Structure 1
Amino acid sequence: MQVVQGKHLVTPDGEVLDELRSRAARVIVDVGTGDARTAYRLAKAQPEWLVVGIDPAWQRMSPTSVRASRKPAKGGAPNLLLVNSAIETVPAELHGIADEVSVLMPWGKLLRGVVHGDGDVCAGLRAVARPGASLDITVGTSIWRDPVPLEIRELPELTPEYVDTVLAGRLAGYGWQVTGAEVISGAEMDRMSSSWARRLGSGNPEVVIHVRATAVTPAEVAAGSPG
């Protein structure tokens, strides 16, 4: 596993992750974390949690890693771990680590993967989750409004109806039971229970679709209900 440490990539000793996990009351994994600023803010707000940001473009996370490496009194966040990886090839060290998995405003392959319910993406998301873990997918709806970006013109629009009729079944095949999908305006985000929605805040004018799911076992999928 490669993690971002300041301006460099390092391979930490396995005991480092074990120690971080042992101290954490809750483990949150932010998939496609980008510049990791949202993950950093959550780590600062919840110092008893371990926040893991995952992204294959590690250079974008570097400035946040520099900031997080400072002493806590100077803005550091020792409970933030930034991992250089795509979710499709997530390191085995992160398997089964998460109490909560977030995909916040994805783009590129990650966006296509969650909208289509692609196997490599769905399986990667499930791999990092403990049984019973929550999955929050938040996508801005404006990307499907004219002018639609060239990269997504063939991508089905993510709507509650699409989630119910298409995506829920695909996610179920990889151990996720969808528990809800709703379109939410920025003004309504404060009422959402998701810690990631609260990080966006009510001042965000974006209208988003928020998809929620729970990590379940194959037996629970067959039964249609998380134990």
Structure 2
Amino acid sequence: MAFFRNRPSDIGGGAFGAAELDEPEERDPVRERARVKAFRTSMQSTTTFWKLVSVHFLGCVSHAIVIIYIVPIAVLAGVDEVTAAGVLSTLALVSVSTRFLTPVISDYIGARGTMATSFMWQGLPVLMLFWAQDPWQFYMFAVIFGIGYGGEGSAFPVINRQYFGRGPMGSSFGWQQFGAGSGMAMGAWVGGALFWLFDSYTATILVSTFTSVAGAAVIMSMEPTSRMLIPNWEDTIPAVPAAADD
């Protein structure tokens, strides 16, 4: 917090391209708090907001299982430890490409369909682990899964903007991140619990696939991103009394 500021004027600078005569905008802290509250209330009053929280949760359960258990799954299939660790490194490396590309694609064709595709691309390839035995099969899985895994989460800021506009969504987006963190924790736990219960990774693999497919279904149940859901949220900002003159 010591190094970041909200506006260039906070450190005596100006926005790039702004005229020198432009006066820095003065913001009333009381009105800013009212604005944040109005946006948060409007955003969280929509069903779509809570669906996005659940989508975060489902997607993270799915890939947390793969991230945590792909190495022991490969080792159990007879792959040596170093080669199995390379499978995890490969899917992480491949995911970098779609982390960059997915937001761009989402801006052009809409985030909803892009995200649903990524969720399916993340979930269905996990079924390959049922018959993967050789190292090349696990590495092929890593490449295919990595594409979906990288695109699964990087479009969330885009879909939030398309649905809710450019309001102050910090605390509301925090709820979505809570869903993501909870999903990562749940996926890491449930994969091991299912292995302990059944002495195989069959149920673990099925849960990873199911949660991704369920996330895609929830995404497609949401409204098209071509229409903003709360266009008039600023009308709900209460009037702030002007400060009395001294």
In the superposition, the TM-score normalised over structure 2's length comes to 0.22
In the superposition, the TM-score normalised over structure 1's length comes to 0.23
> Which protein is bigger by CA-based radius of gyration?
2
Larger helix proportion of the pair: 2
Structure with larger RCO (C-alpha < 8 A, sep 6+) = 2
Larger strand proportion of the pair: 1
